[in-house]
Amino acid sequence: MSKRWLNKIWLAALVLLPVVLLSLPANFFDDGEVLCPSKRFFDVECFGCGMTRAVMHLMHLDFEMALYYNPGSFLVTPVLGIIWLRWLRQAIRAARR
């Protein structure tokens, strides 16, 4: 597979990621197994505990639940958005070549 096709696949994945996450319900990740090693083995929450759930709720504008799961999501979500935009811009440039 050529590098050009890989760039186009990466661009498609970047475009589809927010579409898929926004199409899922805000509570999609709320139930399930705890994956954090700190919480699982030592029963101690780390700074990242609940971040996936909090970001998902924040993406759906459910501020109260985002704050409940992890207040740090109000800082992490914009940073992730900026990183996503940079990757998207780079992928668009690479796909045009």
* pLDDT tens-place string over residues 58-89: 999 999 999 999 999 999 999 999 999 999 99
Summarised one tens digit per residue, pLDDT across range 17-48 is: 999 999 999 999 998 888 888 988 998 989 99
The secondary structure of the chain in percent helix, strand, coil, rounded to multiples of 5, reads 70, 0, 30
Rounded to whole angstroms, the Cα distance separating 57 from 73 reads 9
Q: Which residues contact 38 (CB under 8 A, 6 or more apart)?
A: 44, 45, 46, 49
Residue 28's pLDDT is: 94
Residue 95 has pLDDT above 90, yes or no: no
Nearest CA among 28, 36, 34 for reference residue 54? 28
What sign results for the dihedral spanned by CA atoms 12, 15, 19, 22?
positive
